[in-house]
Structure 1
Amino acid sequence: MSENSYDIVIIGGGVIGSAIAYFLSRNTEQNLKIAVIEKDSSYQFGSTARSAGGVRLQFSTPENIRMSQFAVEFLRNITDHLGIEGEKVDVSYTEGGYLFLAQDHQIPILYNNHEVQKREGVPVALLDPEDLKTSYPWMNVSDLAGGTLGLEGEGWLDAYGLNQAFRKKAISQGVTYLKDEVLDLVKNGSKIEKATLKSGDSVLGSVFVNAAGARAAEIAKMAELDLAVRPRKRFIFSFSCREEVGPCPLTIDPSGLYFRPEGHQFITGRSPGPDEDPDCLDFDVNYDWFDNDIWPVLAHRVPAFEAIKMENAWAGHYAYTLLDQNAVLGPHPEVPNFIFANGFSGHGLQQSPAVGRAIAELILFQNYQTLDLSCFSFERLLTGKGVREINVV
């Protein structure tokens, strides 16, 4: 059995861990030795590959908006960032827009969010029912009071492709990826010194980053720390429709259900209520959820969706922050060499470029250099003062 030493050890090679590895390894002055530990070398069973791949700017928190704005810039110029020896990087980034629909009681939230977005320079159009009817004749607007449409930047991409692009670029910059699983962390006083691995090997490190996605709380527990982030299962269903529907942005119904085009088909999903959302790490699909909770809402909003055929379905996981469903970023106050990059609650893909850059800045310079994300620090989990993201649904 071997024991290797690194400057930085990143636990989790999904899009967050790989983005951190990429941004850290860009810094050639410090010549850091970086390892990423990832047990699923195929990357088919992590949260990244099974996500819907959305990028949106329509948040109510300025920091969330700013992270997405950086993601848009990054994705539009992705070959400049992640290309290797001039090879083009294509993650199928499609700026198809996000359309939030609202009923009467949701209009004040929609309008208040719109004001925040305007102040942050986000191009969003306010639509009344007549606008919706004109722009989307395939939509039932009879119970709607309005909506907002992102005019630039918002859309979707190949989540697996982005993860692989970060990973390949990080490797080209000297990062080592270890196909293994962390079984324990060795703590000495206020410092993590070593990770023991399933293979029997161990890894020494000066800094450890928890980027373990839905298993983040398990890794934190190995460091004798409590992280209030839990794994929650989400279903995505793919379906085909007999009638032509379009143009179609990623549409969020007032009920919380979303749908968007995926090639010649559509994908859809809906978060369950709090009483139907236990901690879960399996990938079992509840097909009754589509028949009973998805299809009726689809058919109501889009009459053409009364005649659809479900083609495929899969389950993925959210790393769900119990306090406020926002990310937990930065060091633990009592274990400063243990860094959190967890709890994105479904937003990890779109926030990965900004989070990768931010965590790299914290490690390299001990503070944020470009975008202040200190509101997402671990301390808020201790005080209970969450960062409230006000959603329309």
Structure 2
Amino acid sequence: MTGERPSFDVVIIGGAMIGSAVAWWLARDPGFDGRILVVERDPSFAHASTSHTNSCIRMQFGTQVNVAIGRFGLEFIRGFRRFVGEDAPEIHFDDFGYLYLAGDAASAGRLRAAQALQARMKAGTRLLTPAQLAATFPFMAWDDVLLGSHNPGEEGCFDGGTMFSELRRRARHLGVEEIRAEATGLRMAGGRVSHVELSDGSSVACGHVVNAAGPRAATVAAMAGIVLPVEPRKRYTFIFEAEDRLPRRMPLVVDPRGIHYRSDGALYMAGCPPEIDGPCAFDDFEMDHAIWEDRIWPLLAARVPAFERIRLRNSWVGHYAYNTLDQNALLGPHPAVPNLHFANGFSGHGLQQAPAVGRGIAEHIIHGGWRSLDLSPLSVARLVEGRALTEAAVI
């Protein structure tokens, strides 16, 4: 198809979790009666970050805005039917918690500072000494750990697939339109985006554009002459079974040796970045099979002796939309292009932050600013201002 399609008030580039959350929050808002179009290059979402997520949520961040986003995300998950409709399914939430471990004094200091921040925001994070860790998790080795930070009850994994499919389906029911295409250009007029150009040769006139393109966000930003420090980075996930089952559920352990692992129903899950953690191609989902044998398994067995006898059951590779500036989301309109809104650079936190971010972007489009939750510390304007807001708690 060539030529110009009908115009839309909002065009969202990217229909995975973030794009669908923005679309749904917009469509349900009684203050908005415009037309919404979601442009998605692959509606199967076979390689989307949403499809390869470990689907977890936590309060244990080192910045106030991220803790606040986490608290609303938990409220949204627990009250899903209240937000989207009583006919919606409930979202299963397994609240085993995260367990951050510190192996040196500097890391322990960061855990203490983060826990103090979380406590001020009424999160239930508690610090555990090596003796307390050993009493709570006696099946693990603690000889190289100085401090732990654990928040059971408010952290864990949830059914992100159901949340995504329900928000997308309900957005369509509210009138959101979708098209299978790739955005190939942004046509500018008077310092604003006037049209989104599509891979089928057509174009769409728009009032606002939302960049929700995940790892491809920098490509979309470049269409407007904006440099966005977001790149795809590979993350490996492994599912395994243990011959000797542990006596209790294992929290998501963020190990100072560079891996993380948790219970996954009757099985267990582990993950890590590559040895050299740099950008990769958008279509590079090749697994490094040696990393399981050479790195993850030995570290698992050293921490959990029962994991000396385990069997790998499944594995996959996903992409982080990694913000190289400060590993925090880049949100809202860009000062140079005020009708181009960003929802990018989540660095592995996109699924859990989607409820708050979707609401925030929708409110900014409708009302011209953040309303329910002040997301200004994550404003994309910090790129122009040269202001970083570093999040240290990135896995």
TM class by shorter-chain length? Answer: over 0.9
> How many Å separate the matches in 2 of 1:38 and 1:159?
19
Structure 1: how far apart are the matches of 2:306 and 2:191?
60
Shift of 1:287: 0.8
Q: What is the distance in 2 between the residues matched to 1:108 and 1:318?
A: 27
Q: Does 1:47 align with 2:49?
A: yes
Residues 233 and 277, structure 2, Cα contact 8 Å, conserved in 1: no
Q: Deviations over 1:213-252 (max 9, x none)?
A: 0000111112222111111111111111101112211111
Please state whether the residue corresponding to 2:100 is helix, strand or coil. strand
Q: Does 1:167 align with 2:168?
A: yes
State the partner residue of 2:220: 219
Alignment of 1:236-385 (within 5 A): 236-245=237-246, 246-272=248-274, 275-281=276-282, 282-385=284-387
Measured in 1, the distance between the counterparts of 2:321 and 2:133 equals: 34
Range with greater deviation from structure 2 (170-179 or 194-203): 194-203
Moved more, 245-254 or 211-220: 245-254
Which residue identity is paired with 2:158? L
Give 1:152 deviation, angstroms.
2.4
Q: Which whole-Å CA distance do the structure 2 matches of 1:384 and 1:232 have between them?
A: 23
Q: In 2, are the aligned partners of 1:91 and 1:157 still within 8 Å (CA)?
A: yes
**Structure 1 residues 392 and 210: alpha-carbon distance in aligned structure 2, compared to 1, 3 A threshold:** closer
Aligned-pair identity in percent equals: 40
CA distance in 1, matches of 2:150, 2:258: 16
Q: Which moved more, 1:153-162 or 1:50-59?
A: 153-162
Question: What SS does the corresponding residue of 2:51 show, helix, strand or coil?
Answer: coil
Question: TM-score, structure 1 length as denominator?
Answer: 0.95
CA distance in 1, matches of 2:160, 2:166: 10
CA distance in 1, matches of 2:68, 2:185: 36
Which range moved further: 342-351 or 249-258? 249-258
- Counterpart of 1:214 in structure 2: which amino acid? P
- Normalised by the size of structure 2, how large is the TM-score? 0.95
Other-structure match for 1:109 = 110
User: What is the distance in 1 between the residues matched to 2:289 and 2:12?
Assistant: 36
Q: 1:248 aligns to what SS in structure 2?
A: coil
Q: 1:111 to 1:372 in 2, by over 3 A?
A: same
Local SS of the residue matching 1:337 = strand
The answer to whether the 8 Å contact 1:210/1:339 transfers is: yes
Query: CA shift at 1:38, angstroms?
Result: 1.0
> 2:208 maps to which residue?
207
The answer to whether the Cα contact below 8 Å between 1:110 and 1:392 also exists between their aligned partners in 2 is: no
Return the offset for 1:178.
1.4
Q: Which amino acid aligns with 1:167?
A: R
Aligned to 1:22: 24
Q: CA RMSD in A?
A: 1.6
Give the Cα separation in 1 of the matches to 2:20 and 2:202.
22
User: Bigger CA drift: 177-186 or 358-367?
Assistant: 177-186
How far the C-alpha of 1:392 sits from its partner, in A, is 8.8
Q: How many residues align?
A: 390
Query: In structure 1, what is the Cα distance between the partners aligned to 2:383 and 2:43?
Result: 32
CA distance in 2, matches of 1:68, 1:176: 29
| Residue 51 of structure 1: how far off its partner (Å) | 0.8
Residue identity opposite 1:386 in structure 2 = A
Equivalent residues of 1:95, 1:156 under 8 A apart = yes
* Native 8 Å contact 1:124 1:150 kept in 2: yes
* 1:58 aligned to which of 43, 49, 60: 60
Kept in 1: contact 2:236–2:274 (CA 8 A): no
Asked whether the 8 Å contact 2:249–2:263 carries over to 1, the reply is no
Amino acid of the residue matched to residue 325 of structure 2?
Answer: L
Alpha-carbon deviations, 1:144-198, whole Å to 9, x = none? 1221110322111233222111101211211112122112221123111111222
